[in-house]
Structure 1
Amino acid sequence: MATTASNPFPFPSRRSPDDTLFYAVYRLPPPADLPPPALLASLRSLHLSLLSHLAPFLSSHLFHRDPFTLSLPTDPASPCALCASPPVPHLHGALRFGDSLPDEWLAVSLLFALTRAFPNLAARAWDSDGEFLLIEAAFALPRWLDPDTAPNRVFIFRGELHILPPSLLPETPSLEAALAAVYDDSVDTRAPDAVQAAIQRRIAGLPERAAENLHTARVIVPASVAKVLNEEPCLIARAVEGFYDRDIDTMKHAARMERFLKGPGGEGVEMVRTSVRMTRAMYAQLMQQNFQAPRGYLMPRREEGPEKWMEAELGMKIACGFEMMYQERRCQGEEVKGSTWEVYRKSLEATGCFEGLLPGSKEYKRVMEDAMQYYKSSTLFSRAREILSEPVRRIDEILAMPYSADEFKGIDLPPSDNDSWLYGGEDELNAELHERQKEMEEYEAVKKHRKSQKQSVASSSISQTDEFKLGEITESMQEFVRKMSSFEGAEVPANRRDMESVDLDVNQFFKAMESVLGGSSHEQAGRDGGFNRKSSSSDMDFDDSDEENDFDEESGDKNVADDFMESYSDALNKELSSTTIKKSFARAPLSDANNEGPSEMDVSATDGEMTPVDVDLNLVESILNSYSSQQGLPGPASNLLGLMGVKVPQDGKKS
């Protein structure tokens, strides 16, 4: 990546994380020719309308990592970095679902619900796999659709999936053209019913059924942790993330527990029982890991019962997760470091900014300091700092308020949910596998049906080939050549098998020739071999005296002509023996040459002898090659064979 004086440390190109869903919402038709203030006001109005519609659900639901949100682009009139799209007015968002795949499909169901409630909205969703909606419906997709042809062709509109066919837009469509086609009611872009059914099976019952993915559990935690969970229940996601992604450095914070085991005055904090709600994925991440309680953390005796011990152990993991998350984010915010800084630093290393510099050297530190200063002045830094510091700031605000353990005593807590799903998921897995197996069987059945149809077509083609005889072409051509034609063209009946003989008034023909060429034409015609000799001897009446005179003259000329043709033929054979013309024609075997009828001659590679060219074979090969090169389109060969009534079967290689 090249650097410039104004931007010596360019930002890295965005790469979609493996656990993040990206989505965008567009108003149709897109507002055009609006000044930036009016465009921004229009998007803000749409933003408020959509959030108001989703508020009843979002306020009560808990996501595994990030909540479903919609935000305005930084500059609606500029290309969007998040969507990697041109400056088309829209709202967008990114949702990290982590290990909770149901959250991804829940977000998709919300997009379907929004486009159903707002008919003039279109949405699109993608993740690191690309158009993952198409992956879900892979067995029902049209054959032309693949990752290379899918960009800007898949949209959610009016509660259904829409796919732009290549017949509508052959090349990769622009986003503006694609949105216009989706909004155009005269254009059918709705995906096939099989594709719709595959997607609807995945989001059936959502978002109403989303509560089934949540788990409620009683826990024993420090009063400070209970206070935070009571004020901001969504922070449980950050605590579980901190516990699950812990490393040696963050575990040092859990060993001290400086924030959540000490009160405002430095005194110890009491343990209280409270109820916490989390996703099933969070509960599994906490329960399936062994973790020793840090020194100084109060745990009950095992003699007090397994239920109390389980509540205390689960609460201890949550409390340690809060401590690790809080301290790590506070340090990253102060040091202006975090995941975004690490990505930025690695991109600098990849572009060669530190090439030839020894880590720790004076020049290395100078370049690193320049990079840090540039990072601090960027919007990327301010956004990263705000995101990192937001949970820390909110926790400080909550714990700054007065609280005590008495607030959590005497409260009627809901019982813990049954967690048998955590250990008995075999039935659910088998049901999912059975569903996938059913899809595979249906796909294979359709594939087998198509194959049988192709085989039936091929067999019919083979039967046609068996019935078809190459000799028909030769016979038809010979019969066609023997027919006479006039200045108006050749006469070929529609069916050669029903051909009738063509009658020609020879006397009238020669009279017409004599009137044009003079009297010598009659005499020349008698010597011409262009007509069938059998027909000439029977159909033409010449004067006896003229015929005898002609015969005497011809008998003398014939000997001279024969001597000339013999010497000319020898000279021609000698000249052609050194060329490759013999390879241009198919020749009959030499042993059968004497049995062949009149045919053209070619030069053999053996002893320079003349071997007969198989005229019929060369004729058939030439016509069939011409017919095949037409690829089913009209052309000279197909037209000629059709006039002669010869039907050539389909090319077996291409079928």
Structure 2
Amino acid sequence: MATVRDVLENVREDDFVEYFLFSLDPAVDFGNLLTRVTELADQQSQGYIWQKDDFKLIHRNPSDFPPINDNQEHLPSHLYGVTHYGENIEDEWFIVHLLLHLTKNVPGLIARVVDSDGEFLLIEAADHLPSWADPDVCEQRVYLFRNEVHVIPPTKPDETITVAEALGKIRTSSQTTKAPDLIQKAIETRVNGYPDKIQDLLHQTHAFVPAGVAALLRAKPSLIAPAVVAFCHRDPIDIRACRAMRYFPPETRVMSQVKMTRCLYAMLLHHKYQPDRRTGWHLPPQNSSNYMAHLIGVKLACGFEILVSQCKGKDTPDDLENDKGWHRYRQSLMDKGYFKDLLEGCKEHQRLESEAKEYYRNHTMYSQPTTGQAILDLLNSLEIDVEGMRREAESLPPPDDDSWMEISADDLDKILAERYGSKPKPNSSVSDISSHLNTFLNHVSGLEGVEHPKLSKDGVPLRPKRTNKKTKNTESSTSNCDDDNNRISMDQEAFSCAVNNILDFSVPEDSWDLESEESGMSSYEDEVEMDLSRKKLGRNNDGRKKSQSELKQYMDQMDRELSTTTLGQSFIKKQPKAMEDSFSDIENFEPVDIDMNALKNILASYQSQMGGAGPASNLLGPMGVRLDETD
């Protein structure tokens, strides 16, 4: 059963990015390295507003963090950090930029970064990965070194690698481990623009907030993030705190300019909230020019009030009842089976919970930071000039345009084209779909499933190149001539015969009902006696009993049931050729047009998708067939 540390190492929210910094210098002083790296990171992230956690590193000695189990590697000494990015995925990629910058400016520094999906750098470059790359093989093979991505290829299939082995390969042969240019370009494009891009991700707006909130944001602008997150993730207990507004009363409100990320601004606007009038929060009419500033102000004030209220009762170290981070962590422990389904309140359950609380308190990187107490301490140290703030409000610059929150269909297509490439023009007509479908069905399937045929420059599926079977067999026989035990021989005729005997499948002869003109289905009233007589047949020449094929029985039964319906008339028919030998002796015979019926059903399915994803587009896409509304 997992111990407290086992669970702690594996239990965290899914919105995390984890990073490791190693040094190729065995004699490096990690204390000085930590100071140097922290200074560089702070310079690059100046003015950046983190969604939940900022970029923070600690030094990990191997003795302090031994392997959890026998299968885990004993990592060398390194710098370690973990950041929860919440709803803003941009934090994760800004950390990638920081790591690239650090490896560029600190000699011998190698970084590894992963998230809940694993090696997410390769996910970003998925279109350019080598053929051997899959999640299991790629684990612990992706690193950042000298501002470049390094991917260590395996020397044999399904080979695993340790971090120490990977660091050794980068140390000795960094040119061979350097990722191809297309992978480098994909990662570079994703983090391009930093640190100048920081200002582009910010949004400034007006907010009618209590003077205490305005003073806090002026002294420490990064407090906007926890306030917005606290408001958007509020619960009934938090709402009770918003009714009192003990620390941020509405009577002191002033118009102020606040700065936040676009992600925080969108979150704040899209969370509906109607304040209780009894608390003194009065909003102007919705058609008022100041309505949005008042609404943003009350939401921010509630967010700060929630944060401060959560730090109440934390003067005693044993009280975690108001700590939401602890409650989320405790629920994660329960989901992982840490409490062993013990009855809550029993002695063993209390012991396990006490150990979990102790570990939670001692590992602040995993716990919820005490932002509320920091806000309260800062608020008590500030001198708030309400009248001066009101005078300044008369000359505030206009707020930023928030039209970026609305996007048209053309803008969306442009963004997708920049992100994933331009949309390919339809290169298939209706007449081409049948041939594409036949090519796809005739393509080779691998052991793991269907192998989609590769497309040519024109979007046409290509058949895989095959070597001459005789030549291949000859080479194989020659290479294995010294090892008879590795030879595999198979009698193809015997194998085919054995399969046929197992299936006992025999295709019945074609028999057409000359009296039928539409359905092509025969009457089966007289065939019942024929089937019974067939079942009474004796043994064949070898003395083996001749049994009726189950598949044949199903086919006969299905034909008997369909013979009384008009299903046969629903298929599209094609006229036979003038002198076609196959049907020259049959009058009024109209064979089913298989290709046209398949095409009809595929187009009907595509139309029902209404432009979205569905079975038709998923089937036609890998075959190189792309349709639009005009097809």
Normalised by the size of structure 2, how large is the TM-score?
A: 0.63
> Which residue of 2 is the match for residue 226 of structure 1?
214
Q: 2:271 aligns with which of 285, 289, 301?
A: 289
For residue 325 of structure 1, the aligned residue among 307, 311, 314 is 307
- Corresponding residue for residue 320 of structure 2: 335
> Using a 3 Å threshold, how does the CA distance of structure 1 residues 111 and 630 change in structure 2: closer, same or farther?
same
Q: Does structure 1 conserve the Cα–Cα contact (< 8 Å) formed by 2:103 and 2:146?
A: yes
Classify the secondary structure of the residue corresponding to 1:26: strand
Q: Residue in 2 aligned with 1:396?
A: 377
Going from structure 1 to structure 2, the CA distance change for 1:376 and 1:196 (only over 3 Å counts) comes to: closer
The Cα shift of 1:301 comes to 5.8
What is the correspondence of 1:479-518 to structure 2 with a 5 Å cutoff? none
Three-state SS of the structure 2 residue aligned to 1:383 is coil
1:118-157 alignment, distance < 5 Å: 118-157=106-145
Matching residue of 1:410: 391
In the TM superposition, 1:462-611 aligns within 5 A as: none
SS at 1:302's partner residue?
Answer: coil
Alpha-carbon distance in structure 2 between the residues aligned to 1:282 and 1:172:
41
Deviations for 1:606-625, whole angstroms, at most 9, x for unmatched residues?
Answer: xxxxxxxxxxxxxxxx9997
Residues 162-216 of structure 1, C-alpha deviations (whole Å, 9 max, x = no match): 0111139973122111112112246511111111111111112122212211111
> Which position in structure 2 is the counterpart of 1:272?
254
Corresponding residue of 1:431: 414
Which whole-Å deviations, capped at 9, do the CAs of 1:104-143 have from their partners, x for residues lacking one? Answer: 1111111111112223111111111111110111110001
Structure 1 residues 381 and 253: alpha-carbon distance in aligned structure 2, compared to 1, 3 A threshold: farther
Partners of 2:161 and 2:456 lie apart in 1 by: 34
Residue 424 (structure 1) shift = 2.8
SS in 2 for 1:409: helix
Cα deviation, 1:62-83, whole Å, max 9, x if unaligned, reads 12222222222376663388xx
> Would the alpha carbon gap of residues 255 and 301 (structure 1) be closer, same or farther in structure 2, given more than 3 Å must change?
closer
Q: Give 1:42's aligned amino acid.
A: D
* SS of equivalent to 1:335: coil
Alignment match, 1:55: 42
Aligned equivalents of 2:417, 2:367: Cα separation in 1: 46
Which protein has the bigger helix share?
A: 1
Q: Structure 1 residues 294, 232: CA separation in 2 closer, same or farther (over 3 Å shift)? A: farther
Give the aligned residue type for 1:223. Answer: A
Tell me the secondary structure at the aligned position of residue 32 of structure 2.
helix
> Are 1:180 and 2:168 counterparts?
yes
Deviations 1:393-414 (A, max 9, x none): 3423323444231241332433
Instruction: Please give the alpha-carbon distance, in whole angstroms, between the structure 2 residues aligned to 1:626 and 1:282.
Output: 67
Q: Cα 1:626–1:191, aligned 2, differ >3 Å: closer, same or farther?
A: closer
CA–CA distance in structure 1, aligned partners of residues 304 and 6 of structure 2: 35
User: Which residue is 1:100 aligned to?
Assistant: 88
RMSD across aligned positions (CA):
4.0
- Judged with a 3 Å threshold, the aligned counterparts in structure 2 of structure 1 residues 75 and 256 are, in CA distance, closer, same or farther, namely farther
Q: Which amino acid aligns with 2:320?
A: E
Q: Percent identity?
A: 29
Q: Within 5 Å, which residues of 2 pair with 1:301-380?
A: 302=284, 306-330=288-312, 334-335=319-320, 338-339=323-324, 341-342=326-327, 345-346=330-331, 349=334, 364-378=345-359, 380=361
Distance apart, 1:306 and its partner CA: 2.4
8 A contact 2:211–2:253 mirrored in 1: yes
Deviations 1:374-430 (A, max 9, x none): 344436456389844343234233234442312413324332111000123655532
> Relative to structure 1, is the Cα distance of residues 75 and 250 closer, same or farther in structure 2, using a 3 angstrom cutoff?
farther
Encode CA deviations 1:132-162: one digit per residue, 9 max, x unaligned. Answer: 1101111100010110001221001111110
Q: TM-score with structure 1 length normalisation?
A: 0.60
Please tell me whether the aligned partners of residues 311 and 322 of structure 2 are also in contact (alpha carbons under 8 angstroms): no
- 1:316-336 per-position Cα deviation (integer Å, ceiling 9, x unaligned): 001111112221343578435
Shift of 1:7: 7.0
Give secondary structure in 1 for the equivalent of 2:111. strand
CA distance in 1, matches of 2:465, 2:194: 48
Alpha-carbon spacing, 1:85–1:342, altered in 2? closer, same or farther (3 Å)? farther
Name the CA distance, whole Å, in 2 between partners of 1:173 and 1:86.
13
The CA distance in 2 between the partners of 1:141 and 1:119, in whole Å, is 28
Counterparts in 2 of 1:85 and 1:319: CA distance versus 1, 3 Å: farther
8 A contact 1:77–1:87 mirrored in 2: no
Q: CA deviation at 1:314?
A: 0.5
> What letter corresponds to residue 258 of structure 1 in structure 2?
R
Q: 1:387 to 1:183 in 2, by over 3 A?
A: same
Q: Rg larger in 1 or in 2?
A: 1
Q: Look up the SS of the partner of 2:60 in the other structure.
A: coil
Distance in 1 separating the partners of 2:468 and 2:334? 64
Separation in 2, partners of 1:305, 1:330: 39
- Distance of 1:76 and 1:158 partners within structure 2: 29
Q: Distance in 2 between matches of 1:233 and 1:154?
A: 35
Q: For the Cα contact (< 8 Å) 1:217–1:417, is it kept in 2?
A: yes
Moved more, 175-184 or 339-348: 339-348
Give the whole-Å Cα distance in 2 for the aligned partners of 1:358 and 1:459.
Answer: 65
Q: Which AA in structure 2 matches 1:373? A: S
Moved more, 364-373 or 123-132: 364-373
CA distance in 1, matches of 2:39, 2:339: 50
Which of 52, 59, 62 is the matching residue for 1:72?
59
Contact kept in structure 2, 1:65 and 1:238, CA below 8 Å? yes
* 1:111-260 correspondence runs (5 A): 111-167=99-155, 171-185=159-173, 187-260=175-248
Partners of 1:88 and 1:315 in 2: CA distance: 49
Q: Unaligned stretches of 5+ in structure 2?
A: 428-451, 485-631
| Aligned position for 1:527 | none
Q: How many Å separate the matches in 2 of 1:184 and 1:275?
A: 54
Structure 1 CA distance, aligned partners of 2:5 and 2:54?
A: 32
CA distance in 2, matches of 1:6, 1:288: 41
Q: What SS is found at the alignment partner of 2:160?
A: coil
Distance in 1 of aligned mates of 2:366 and 2:89: 28
> Structure 1 residue 422 and structure 2 residue 418: aligned?
no
Kindly tell me: are residues 225 and 150 of structure 1, through their superposed partners in 2, closer, same or farther at Cα, counting changes over 3 Å? same
Say which of 23, 26, 32 aligns to 1:45: 32
**Letter aligned with residue 106 of structure 1:** F
- CA distance change for structure 1 residues 45 and 12 in 2, over 3 Å: closer, same or farther? closer
Shift of 1:56: 2.8
Work out whether 1:28 is the aligned partner of 2:16: no
Instruction: Give 1:15 shift.
Output: 3.8
**Structure 1 CA distance, aligned partners of 2:453 and 2:423?**
10
Question: CA, structure 1 residues 385+174, in 2 after alignment: closer, same or farther (shift >3 Å)?
Answer: closer
Comparing 202-211 with 394-403, greater Cα deviation is found at 394-403
Task: Report the more deviating stretch, 419-428 or 282-291.
Answer: 419-428
Q: Secondary structure in 1 aligned to 2:132?
A: coil
Provide structure 1 residue ranges, at least 5 long, that are not aligned to the other structure.
Answer: 32-40, 262-267, 463-621, 637-655
Deviation at 1:58, TM superposition (A): 2.4
